[in-house]
Structure formats: C-alpha cells, structure tokens
Structure 1
Amino acid sequence: MKVLMVSWEYPPVVVGGLGRHVHHLATELVRSGHEVVVLARRPTGTDASTHPTHHRIEDGVLVVAVAEDPAHFVFGEDMLAWTLAMGHAMVRAGIALGKPGLGEGWTPDVVHAHDWLVAHPSIALAEHFDVPLVSTIHATEAGRHSGWISGPVNRQVHSIEWWLANDSDAVITCSASMKDEVTRLFGIRDSSVAVIRNGIDIRTWTFRRREPRQEPAKLLYVGRLEYEKGIQDAIAAMPRIRRSHPGTTLHIAGEGTQFGWLAQLARTHRVARAVSFLGSLDHTELLGWLHGADAIVLPSRYEPFGIIALEAAAAGTPLVASTAGGLGEAIVDGVTGLSFEPADVGGLATAVRRVLDNVDAAQDRAEAARKRLTVDFDWKHVADATAQVYLAAKRKVRYPLARPVIVERALPERS
C-alpha cells in the first residue's frame, strides 16, 4: 500500500514518544514492502528562508519536512493558531505530492494521522485524495488533565480530537485503557477502534545484568516534566525510601513545564540534594543511565502507554511503575516489574524497597521483561497489525457533524 503519514514530530524533530513511534512504524512498514511518505515539519521557530521545506529519503521513507510559513506564531503562546498554520503548510505540501513533476505524481491509498495537532491537514488530504483516514490517538486532552476540560484551550483541543475521531474511518489506540477512554469521550463505535501496542527495536538497547550494589542506590525517572507524569509522587516518596536505604538518589531526565515546581517540591520534602535534574538525554546518555540505575520509577497518574517502560526493559533496568493506563498493561506485576496504584506514595516507596532489598529477584523480573518484548512488542508485529487496519478501512459516507457537547469533567474522577 501507499501510506501518507502525518505527524507533528519526526526525527530529528522529536518532542516525546510520538516521534519515535511514527519513525519506527514508518520504517517497519517500508521493510514489509509498503511505500511510506511522512509529512512532518521543520523545527519550531525556524522559517522558510533558513529552513525551507526539505525532501529526504531515510530508511526507505520519504520524509517531507514542511517549512513554517512567514506568519509568526509561538507554540507556547499561540498554540491553536500555530497548529492551524502548521496544518495549512502541510496541506499544501501534501497536495503537491500528487502533482505532475514528481514522476506521474504520488497519491496515497490511506492517510494516517497521529494525534490532534495534525487533524486539519489529515482530514483535508484524505478528502482531497478520496482515501480512508486512519487516526492513532496517542493521548487525550481530558486524560492529560485528569478528566477536566474546563479551560478554553482544553475545550478547543478536545473538540478537535472529537472531530478527528469521528471523521476517521478507523482509529488506533496503544492500549485497551485508551480504547475505553476514546470510545467514551468521543462517542465512536467500539468496533471502529483497534488496539495496537507500541513496539521496540531491542537491537538498539543493550541488555545489562545488575551487579551487586557497591554504593547508595540510584533511581531514575525518564519522561516529560508534567503533572500527569506523577514525578511529584516519586519526590514525595524519597524521605521514606531514604529512611530504610540511606543515600538513595533520584535522577530525573526530561524537560517540561513543571521543572520549577518539582525543584521546589524537592526542597519542601528536604531531599533537594538527593534529587537531580538531568535535562534531555540522547540515546547513548539514556542507555548509560538505564544501565547505571538500580530501578526506573514511572509514577504516572495518566499514561496512554509509556514507551520508556519498554526501553528500560530492553536495557535490563528493573521496573517500578504505576498501574495508570497502558503501564498497567505493559508491566505484569511481580513478573516483569513491580506496580502500585497511581498517586499512592506509600505503595511507590514499598515497591522501590522491594527492588533494593532483593537484587536477585529484581534481576529475574528484568530478564522476564526483556523476554516479553520479543513476543508482545516487536515492531514487525505492530506494523503488520497496522497494515491490516489500513486494508480493512473503507472511506465511509460523510455526513455533516454538529459541534460536540463539551462537559467540564469528561472522565471519571481519579486519584
């Protein structure tokens, strides 16, 4: 099949796990014999004079990185305007694919949208080429904000997600919990949603056994610094952990809007010297930290999937994670890692203590987690399942859609 993917991030422009997901999926689809074009973008804050639209073939994928238009918008200040402008530029670049001049012109058999930020160009291009629209919903605005969509921007984003889900001919989510969330939020049929888990290429993650600890324990967190990631719970657990395991440190890798608040929280709990912020890590740096940590702690309060759990498992790092969303499906408690309820600081501390108290048992769980990756989370399996969704998707008759009814709280209350 000829697949047109649309994503607001694709290497080297990577914001979070979505960019890596799209990259692995696109390259694996090419290995399976499909033609893939990815519509992505140039880095934020650039313009067409310094960073013009760029076409490149990488790993068999034609990547069209679209330049920003001259109109000046700042993502953090004008998010919706910035997103609409990006979408407009992507539409023009997508239409150009079908024009003579690129051979006979290239037209897709399916358009695959990744998240709400590319809803406008994806819907427009699927209509232009008259092909099915498949969308992967990686997260929802309501989920990111514990069910609350009371602010004006929250409501706008939610309405775009609703539109994308309802206009799609098929929807993909990365976990069963996300499927439940999407069908409940957007009122779409359960049968139109396929669950396809994220994958991992274990060849890029060297497995290393844990050695007997010769120094105070090191805990690691990797991810965005946002409230829904629950880092505040890991910081709050540190005094309890350090009482039974003196000298234990927590190292936080990633960037986000909550850095200042989290740093202050470490001071409030009197563990500022035991908590360090590492910023963003490249692959080699991340692998080094994974190999050096006694455990990775993923305390999310909301998590559609959590691909870092797979990366840590591939590297052999013992897993301690909440049961939020996809994490509860990615980790088998007591078998491939240890779990606790979201926002349960005591449960988090107890799970960490169990890892530190019995290194051999932690190593056994880490090895079981690595073995599971080759069965349940192989990228070829992910790509084959996605291709089946493409083949089954048929462009449905479109009827005019009314605006969604938006309630202030759209999901059941969580801790």
Structure 2
Amino acid sequence: MKILMVSWEYPPVVVGGLGRHVHHLATELAAGGHEVVVLSRRPSGTDSATHPTHTHITDGVLVVAVAEDPPHFLFGEDMLAWTLAMGHAMVREGLALGKPGVGAGWQPDVVHAHDWLVAHPAIALAEHYDVPLVSTVHATEAGRHSGWVSGRINRQVHSVEWWLANESDALITCSASMHDEVTRLYGPDLAPVTVIRNGIDVTTWRYRKREPRSGPPRLLFVGRLEYEKGIQDAIAALPRIRRSHPGTTLTIAGEGTQYDWLYEQARVHRVARSVSFVGTLGHTELLGWLHGADAIVLPSRYEPFGIIALEAAAAGTPLVTSTAGGLGEAVVDGVTGVSFLPGDVAGLTSAVREVLDDPAAAQVRAKAARERLTADFDWHVVARETAQVYLAAKRRVRHPLHRPEVVERPLPERDLP
C-alpha cells in the first residue's frame, strides 16, 4: 500500500513517545514492502530561511519535514494558532506530492493521522485524495486533565479531537482503557476502534542483569515533566522511602512545563539534595541510567500507554508503576513489576520498598518483563495489525457535523465569586 502518515513529531524532532512510535511503525511498514511517506515538521522556532523543507529517505521511509511559515507563533504561547499554521504548511506539501514533476504524481491509498495536532492537514489530504482516513488517538485532552476540559484552550483542543475522531474511517488506540475513553468521549457514531499496542525493538535496548552493589538505592523517572505523569507523588514518597532506605536518590529525566513546580515540591518535602533533574537523555545516556537504577518509578495519574515501561523492561530495570491506563496493561503486578494505584503515595512507597527489600525477586520480575516483550510487543506484529486496519478501512459518506457538546467541570463553591 501507499501510506501517508501525518505526525507533528518525527525524528529528529521528538517531543515524547509519539515521535518514536511513528518512526518505528513507519520503518517497519516500509520493511514490509509498503510505500511510506511521513509528513512531519522542522524544529519549533525555525523558519524556511534557516530550516527549509527537507525531503529525504531514511530507513526506507520518505520523510517530508515541513518548514515553518514566517508568521511569528510560539507553541507555548499561541498553541492553536501555531498548530493551524503548521497544518497549513503540511497541506501545501501534502498536495505537492500528487503533482507531476514535484511528487512524481504520488498518491496515497490511505492517510494515517497521529493525534489532534495534525487533524486539519490529515482531514484535508484524505478528502483531497479521496482515500480512507485512519487516526491513532495517543491521548485525550480530557484524560490529561482528570476527565474535565474547563479551560478555553482545553475545550478547543477537545473539540478538534472530537472532529478528527468523527471524521475518521477507522480509529486505533494503544490500550483497552484508551479504547473505552475514546468511545466514551467521542461516540456514539464512530468508525470501528481497534486496539493495537505500542511496540518495541528489543535489539536496541541491551538487557543487563542486576548485580549486587553497595551504596544508596537509585530510583529513576523518565518522561515529560507534566502533572499527569505523577512525578510529584514520587517526590512526596521519597522522604518515606529514605526513612527505611537511607540515602535513596531520585533522578528525573525529561523536560516539560512543570519543572519549576516540581523543583519546588522537592524543596517542600525537604529532599531537594536527593532529587536530580537531568533533562532529556539521548539513547546511550538513557540506557546507562536504566542499567544503573535499582528501579524505574512511573507514577502516572494518566497514561494512555507508557512506552518507557517497555524500554525499561527491555533493559532489565525493575518496574514500579501506577495502574493508570495502559500502564496497568503493560505491567503485570507481581509478575513483571510492582504496581500501585494512581495518586497513592503510600502505595508507591510500599511498592518501592518491596523492590529494594528483595533484589532477587525484583530480578525475576525484570527477566519476566523482558521475555514478555518479544511475545506481546513486537513491532512486526504492530505493523501487520496496522496494515490490516488500513486494508479494512473504507471511506465513509460524509455528513455535516454539529459542534460537540463540551462538558465542563463545575466550579467548587469556594472558587465561586
């Protein structure tokens, strides 16, 4: 098949797990004989003079990294305007693919959108080429905000998500919990929703058996520094953990909007000297940190999947995770890791202590987690199942859509004017 993927991130522009997911899926589909074109973007804050549109073939995938237009929009300050401008630039380049002499008249058999930020270009291009639109919903605005979309931008993002879901001819989610979430938020007239788990290439994550070592325990978190990732709960648990395991440290790898607040939380809980923020890590650095940690702690309050759990399992790092969303499906409590309820600081503390108190049992669980990857999370399986969704998708008859009704969270009495 000829597949046009549209994603707001693709290596080297990677914001989170979505970029790595699209990269692995695209290259695996290409290796399977499909023609894959990925429409993505150049880095934020650039323009066509410094970073012109770059078209190149990497790992069998034709990547069209679209330049930003001159208008001055910043993602952090003008998110919706920035997103619309990116979409406009993507549409231009997507249309050019079908022009003789530019894209050699290439036309896709299917358009695959990844999340709401590319809703406008994906919908427009699927309509232009008159092909099915398949959308993977990696997360939802309501899910990221505990089920509510009370702010103006929250409502706008939710409405775009709803539009993309209802315009799609097939939908993909990465977990059963996300399937239920998407159906509840955007139904009832959706196209079929298929659950296809995220995959992992275990060959790129060298497994290392835990060896007995001296010194204080080392805990690791990897992910975006956002409230829904629950890092604040790991920080709150650290003083309790240190009482039973003196000297325990927590290293936080990643970037995000909540850095200042999380740094202050470490001060509030009097563990600032035991918490280190190391920023974004490259693959080799991350692997080193995974091998050196006694456990990786993933305390998400909302998590559609949690690809870092698979990466840590592949490296042999003991898993301590919440049961939020996809994490509850990716990690089998007591078998491949130790779990606790989202937001439960006492449960998090108990889970970490269980791992630190019995390294041998933690090693058994880590080995089981690694073995499960090859059976349940192989990228070849993910690509094959995705291709089946493409083949089954048929372009539906379009009808005018009303605006969605957005449920807002009522203000508590104490917040009323």
Q: How does 1:14-413 map to 2 (within 5 A)?
A: 14-102=14-102, 104-189=104-189, 192-409=192-409
- In the alignment, the residues of structure 1 paired with residue 387 and residue 194 of structure 2 have an alpha-carbon distance, to the nearest angstrom, of 12
For 1:158-195, what per-residue CA distance to the aligned partner results, in whole angstroms no more than 9, with x for missing partners? 00000000000000000000000000000145771000
- In the alignment, the residues of structure 1 paired with residue 190 and residue 397 of structure 2 have an alpha-carbon distance, to the nearest angstrom, of 19
Verify the 8 A CA contact 2:337 2:366 in the aligned structure 1. yes
Query: Structure 1: which 4+ aligned runs deviate by more than 3 Å?
Result: 188-191
- In the alignment, the residues of structure 1 paired with residue 18 and residue 88 of structure 2 have an alpha-carbon distance, to the nearest angstrom, of 21
Q: What residue identity is the alignment partner of 2:273?
A: R
Verify the 8 A CA contact 2:168 2:191 in the aligned structure 1. no
Q: What residue identity is the alignment partner of 2:192?
A: S
Instruction: State the 1:213 CA deviation.
Output: 2.5
Instruction: State the 1:50 CA deviation.
Output: 1.2
Q: TM-score, normalised by structure 1?
A: 0.98
Number of residues paired by the alignment? 410
SS at match of 2:138: coil
For 1:304-325, what per-residue CA distance to the aligned partner results, in whole angstroms no more than 9, with x for missing partners? 0000000000000000000000
- In the alignment, the residues of structure 2 paired with residue 52 and residue 339 of structure 1 have an alpha-carbon distance, to the nearest angstrom, of 46
- In the alignment, the residues of structure 2 paired with residue 183 and residue 11 of structure 1 have an alpha-carbon distance, to the nearest angstrom, of 30
SS at match of 1:255: coil
SS at match of 2:81: helix
SS at match of 1:250: strand
SS at match of 2:162: helix
Verify the 8 A CA contact 1:166 1:188 in the aligned structure 2. no
SS at match of 1:33: coil
Verify the 8 A CA contact 1:90 1:121 in the aligned structure 2. yes
Q: What residue identity is the alignment partner of 2:325?
A: G
For 1:65-123, what per-residue CA distance to the aligned partner results, in whole angstroms no more than 9, with x for missing partners? 00011111111111000000000000000000000004741000000000000000000
| Cα pair distance change 1:286/1:103, threshold 3 Å | closer
| Cα pair distance change 1:261/1:103, threshold 3 Å | closer
| Cα pair distance change 1:189/1:402, threshold 3 Å | closer
| Cα pair distance change 1:357/1:116, threshold 3 Å | same
- In the alignment, the residues of structure 2 paired with residue 246 and residue 333 of structure 1 have an alpha-carbon distance, to the nearest angstrom, of 26
Verify the 8 A CA contact 2:5 2:37 in the aligned structure 1. yes
Q: Which runs of 5+ in 2 are unaligned?
A: 411-417
Verify the 8 A CA contact 1:314 1:373 in the aligned structure 2. yes
Q: What residue identity is the alignment partner of 1:66?
A: V
Instruction: State the 1:148 CA deviation.
Output: 1.6
SS at match of 1:64: strand
| Cα pair distance change 1:191/1:166, threshold 3 Å | closer
Verify the 8 A CA contact 2:166 2:191 in the aligned structure 1. no
For 1:238-290, what per-residue CA distance to the aligned partner results, in whole angstroms no more than 9, with x for missing partners? 11100100000000000011111111111111111111111110000000000
Verify the 8 A CA contact 2:2 2:110 in the aligned structure 1. yes
State the partner residue of 2:414. Answer: none
Q: Which runs of 5+ in 1 are unaligned?
A: 411-415
Verify the 8 A CA contact 1:183 1:189 in the aligned structure 2. no
Instruction: State the 1:327 CA deviation.
Output: 0.1
SS at match of 1:39: strand
Verify the 8 A CA contact 2:119 2:164 in the aligned structure 1. yes
For 1:36-79, what per-residue CA distance to the aligned partner results, in whole angstroms no more than 9, with x for missing partners? 00000000011101111110000000000000111111111110
For 1:338-381, what per-residue CA distance to the aligned partner results, in whole angstroms no more than 9, with x for missing partners? 00000000000001001001111000000000000000000000
Verify the 8 A CA contact 2:97 2:104 in the aligned structure 1. no
Q: Percent identity?
A: 80
Verify the 8 A CA contact 1:320 1:351 in the aligned structure 2. yes
Q: TM-score, normalised by structure 2?
A: 0.97
Verify the 8 A CA contact 2:169 2:191 in the aligned structure 1. no
Q: What residue identity is the alignment partner of 1:109?
A: D
State the partner residue of 2:415. Answer: none
SS at match of 2:163: helix
SS at match of 2:333: coil
CA-based RMSD of the aligned residues comes to: 1.0
- In the alignment, the residues of structure 1 paired with residue 190 and residue 70 of structure 2 have an alpha-carbon distance, to the nearest angstrom, of 42
- In the alignment, the residues of structure 1 paired with residue 40 and residue 303 of structure 2 have an alpha-carbon distance, to the nearest angstrom, of 24
SS at match of 1:339: strand
- In the alignment, the residues of structure 2 paired with residue 208 and residue 104 of structure 1 have an alpha-carbon distance, to the nearest angstrom, of 48
| Cα pair distance change 1:146/1:288, threshold 3 Å | same
- In the alignment, the residues of structure 2 paired with residue 107 and residue 347 of structure 1 have an alpha-carbon distance, to the nearest angstrom, of 53
Verify the 8 A CA contact 2:171 2:191 in the aligned structure 1. no
Q: What residue identity is the alignment partner of 2:323?
A: T
SS at match of 1:90: helix
State the partner residue of 1:413. Answer: none
- In the alignment, the residues of structure 1 paired with residue 241 and residue 188 of structure 2 have an alpha-carbon distance, to the nearest angstrom, of 44
Between 102-111 and 183-192, report the one with greater CA deviation.
183-192
